[in-house]
Amino acid sequence: MSILKTTNLTHLYGQKTLFEVTAVKNISIEIEEGEFLGVIGHTGSGKSTLIQHFNGLLKPDSGNVYLDGRDIWESKESVRKARFAVGLCFQYPEYQLFEETVYRDISFGPKNMGLAEDEIDRRVQRAARFVGLREELLSKSPFDLSGGEKRRAAIAGVMAMEPRVLILDEPTAGLDPRGRDTVLGFVKEYRQETGGTVVLVSHSMDDIARLATRAVVMNRSEIAMAGTVDEIFSRGGELLEMGLNVPQVTRIFLDLRGRGLPVSASVYTNEQGEKELLRLFQKGNGGGAQ
């Protein structure tokens, strides 16, 4: 059974005003327990609106959201359950940092869950270490952090809750390259160790290609495509029309094919690209590769 499911989910902003927007339109998706779902889509396509329904932060205008087969809006208790089971990290970390110190911010979730003091401390230290937040920053005010440090604090706060479903909205925006690798590596590890489910919203086609087991593409408030990473990125022309793209390595291979080189264009990660070129150069007589 799927862990999260929406049926005909619709969300409007500014209802019955001049500025009414249907941000999410009639979306039905199922997310399987343990999968790594990538969500891509142009600016304003409805990604953030959609995922804020998964833990009950936004309420559907029509349609339903189910966690473990139960409508999350069934009762007060079920909404509360969704808040703890589904951890959501906002697109702008400023929206979720409000405590006096970074330490208190990260411990806010675990505290609300009613965990013991020493367990809270263990989780805070662990989460801070994983996102690469230096010890001395924990006593600072979150508002006095740099952009990337805020991002790390916000991610640590969600991770510390050890939710069954981890939803990350552009978690690598503003992170330096090492931070990006650290955080994504940790998310991958977390999923493998706990069997947790991950939903990653990202404008990085490369990260989605590398990490996701399945992806959905949003376009103008609706789901335009859903499938494996290979299925999605084999439709490069359509993605371009929607303001998206294919991973950079795929562009290199499309370029090579355009020049008549006998290479596959179904290359979405650097590993696949490396393999494909080794094959090519081994076949070519006297190629440099041995």
Partner 1 sequence: MSENIIEFKNVTYAYDNAAEDGNPIDADPAVSNISLAIKRGEFVAVLGHNGSGKSTLAKLCNAILTPQGGAVMSGGFDTADESRVLDIRRTVGMVFQNPDNQIVATVVEDDVAFGPENLGVEPLEIRKRVDEALTAVGMYGFRLYEPHKLSGGQKQRVAIAGVIAMRTDCIVLDEPTAMLDPRGRLEVMDIIKKLNRELGITVVLITHFMDEAVQAGRVIVMDEGRIILDGTPKEVFARKETLRGTGLDIPQAAAFADRLRADGIPLPDGILTAEECADAIAYAYAYANN
Ligand X SMILES: Nc1ncnc2c1ncn2[C@@H]1O[C@H](COP(=O)(O)OP(=O)(O)OP(=O)(O)O)[C@@H](O)[C@H]1O
Residues that bind ligand X (CB under 6 A): 13-14, 21, 23, 41, 43-49, 91, 144-149
Does 234 bind partner 1 (CB under 8 A)? Our answer is: no
Does 287 bind Mg ion (CB under 5 A)? Our answer is: no
**Residues 165-184 contacting partner 1, CB under 8 A:** 170, 173-180
Kindly list the strands in the beta sheet with 36-41, ordered across the sheet, starting from the edge strand earlier in the chain.
86-89, 165-169, 197-201, 36-41, 214-219, 222-227
Rounded Cα–Cα distance for residues 100 and 141 (Å): 5
Query: Going by DSSP bridges, is the β-strand pair 214-219/222-227 parallel, antiparallel, or unpaired?
Result: antiparallel
Secondary structure (DSSP) of 118-129: HHHHHHHHHHHH
Name the region of 37 (left: φ>0; alpha: ψ -120 to 50; beta: rest).
beta
Stretch that binds partner 1, among 31-39, 69-77, 94-102, 154-162 (CB under 8 A): 94-102
Rounded Cα–Cα distance for residues 128 and 200 (Å): 20
| Closest listed residue to residue 73, CA positions, set 58, 94, 51 | 58
Which is closer to partner 1, CB of 25 or CB of 203? 203
**Residues 125-144 contacting Mg ion, CB under 5 A:** none
Stretch that binds partner 1, among 66-74, 188-196, 225-233, 251-259 (CB under 8 A): 251-259
Which is closer to partner 1, CB of 73 or CB of 111? 111
Q: Which residue is nearest to ligand X (CB)?
A: 148
14 DSSP 8-state letter: S
Q: Which residue has the tokens 């029509």?
A: 62
* Residues in touch with partner 1 (CB under 8 A): 13-14, 19, 41-44, 48, 91-92, 94, 100-101, 136, 139-140, 144-149, 151-152, 170, 173-180, 203, 205-206, 240, 243-245, 248-249, 251-252, 255-256, 259, 261, 270, 273-274, 277-278, 280-281, 284-290
* Residues in touch with Mg ion (CB under 5 A): 48, 91, 146-147
